[in-house]
Chains A and B, each alone.
Chain A
Amino acid sequence: EAGVAQSPRYKIIEKRQSVAFWCNPISGHATLYWYQQILGQGPKLLIQFQNNGVVDDSQLPKDRFSAERLKGVDSTLKIQPAKLEDSAVYLCASSLGGGRSNTEAFFGQGTRLTVV
């Protein structure tokens, strides 16, 4: 079974530039998450989708971050304009979703963003 795919793996941009990350979840997984992991910390949830609807985006800095999940499959996360403090690894995860037994999340390799 293919895992969660993310691209690009690495990105370096200047502050105030824009950047977009792409995620393809495991086939059949209804729930998709974007997490931000700053060096030395645990992942922090940015946004959670159930199919193509947003379940939780309470910690997404909406003035600069946006995300979409068209057709309930692939997702993109965009930052515009980027700030230095956005330097982090952006992790996409997916899970089957729905029901108590289907909550285990599987993570992609992440995109390491450096803002200079």
Chain B
Amino acid sequence: ELKVEQNPLFLSMQEGKNYTIYCNYSTTSDRLYWYRQDPGKSLESLFVLLSNGAVKQEGRLMASLDTKARLSTLHITAAVHDLSATYFCAVDSRWSAPSNYGGSQGNLIFGKGTKLSVKP
């Protein structure tokens, strides 16, 4: 059974500081997603990481994927208050074997989320 673990679960940062959120998963997968959720709102897609070594950046956020270590990171640079939200990583459970390629749509397994609070 695929398990996805995020840490930390809670993160309080000062504006201007850097920090990294970690996402570990238990079985092979080469497809990982990062989502943002604001209180009372739905999930907004941030990054789609499709291969080992993938790195994507958008503004102050940068995500990377190491499929051999089964680890993704979400790095925050010079945090600002607007980044306060809960961040989820989700791993696609169906692309872990060649027999699944081109098969039915994957199933996303989510971590518990990291609640980020950026303080002035």
A14 interface contact, C-beta 8 A: no
Report the separation of the CA atoms of residues A110 and B45 in the bound assembly, to the nearest whole angstrom: 15
Q: Interface residue count for A (Cβ, 8 Å)?
A: 30
B42 interface contact, C-beta 8 A: yes
> In the assembled complex, which residues on chain A have CB atoms less than 8 Å from the CB atom of B90?
42
A103 interface contact, C-beta 8 A: yes
CB <8 Å contact, A95 and B105 = yes
B102 interface contact, C-beta 8 A: yes
Interface residue ranges, A against B (CB under 8 Å): 30-31, 33, 40-45, 48, 50, 55-56, 91, 93, 95, 97-110
B16 interface contact, C-beta 8 A: no
CB <8 Å contact, B107 and A56 = yes
Beyond A42-B4, A95-B105, A100-B102, 19 extra complex contacts between A and B, CB < 8 Å? A31-B105, A33-B108, A42-B90, A43-B108, A44-B110, A45-B107, A45-B109, A48-B107, A56-B107, A91-B42, A91-B43, A93-B43, A97-B104, A98-B104, A101-B50, A103-B31, A104-B45, A107-B42, A107-B43
Q: Mark B79-114, 1 if CB is under 8 A from A, else 0.
A: 000000000101010010000011011111111110
